[in-house]
Chains A and B, each alone.
Chain A
Amino acid sequence: DTAVSQTPKYLVTQMGNDKSIKCEQNLGHDTMYWYKQDSKKFLKIMFSYNNKELIINETVPNRFSPKSPDKAHLNLHINSLELGDSAVYFCASSVRDRGNYGYTFGSGTRLTVV
């Protein structure tokens, strides 16, 4: 029943490791996003995909690489993890409906780099 699901919910890893976060939505939305929420709860967009095509790529280190195998999935791979990457990462999806743009967020992945 979960609309936007992310795995894992928690991720603790050492500096220098490579890790992936997976996201899937079953809403039939055509656009998916990755947002980063820092320790002060500030939400900032990282990437956006529309029908598997990258449409937004904010100023994010190239250690972060999103991949969208189909429009229902958007994964995030992070290479050479750094302490500053510790945050909560949210996946979201949206579709244009009568001019409204309701985002649906997943429950987040709390990444802790030690």
Chain B
Amino acid sequence: QQQVKQSPQSLIVQKGGISIINCAYENTAFDYFPWYQQFPGKGPALLIAIRPDVSEKKEGRFTISFNKSAKQFSLHIMDSQPGDSATYFCAGRRGNKLVFGAGTILRVKS
């Protein structure tokens, strides 16, 4: 019941396009859902996060959509840029533990 499933594994988007990454979770005890961005050779960095009592959160070009009844959430990157090329991880938190999805490698073509 700790699993977070993330798709797709990899994604190629044209510059200016919308990147969409989806996650589904099983554990209804998760109370916080962050997204992390990781560049090669670096640690994951918190990008944006949402609590389950909110259906959408937007920060700049990044938006999380959250569907509590379906136990799904997604990250939308508007106007995707080559600098957004990185690995993205969704996660669910319970207690002091973050459980991560398997990651999505995003490549934005210029």
A→B interface (CB under 8 Å): 4, 31, 40-45, 48, 50, 55-56, 90, 92, 94, 99-108
**Residue on B nearest A41 in the bound complex, by CB:** B103
**Residues 1-58 of B at the A interface (beta carbon under 8 Å):** 32, 34, 36, 38, 41-46, 49, 51
- By secondary structure, the B interface counts as strand
Nearest chain A CB to B109 CB, angstrom units = 21
B→A interface (CB under 8 Å): 32, 34, 36, 38, 41-46, 49, 51, 87, 89, 93, 95-100, 102-103, 105
Verify B100–A50 contact, CB threshold 8 A.
Answer: no
Contacts of B98 in A (CB 8 A): 45, 101, 103
Between A and B, 6 residue pairs with Cβ closer than 8 Å are A31-B96, A41-B87, A41-B105, A56-B95, A105-B43, A107-B43
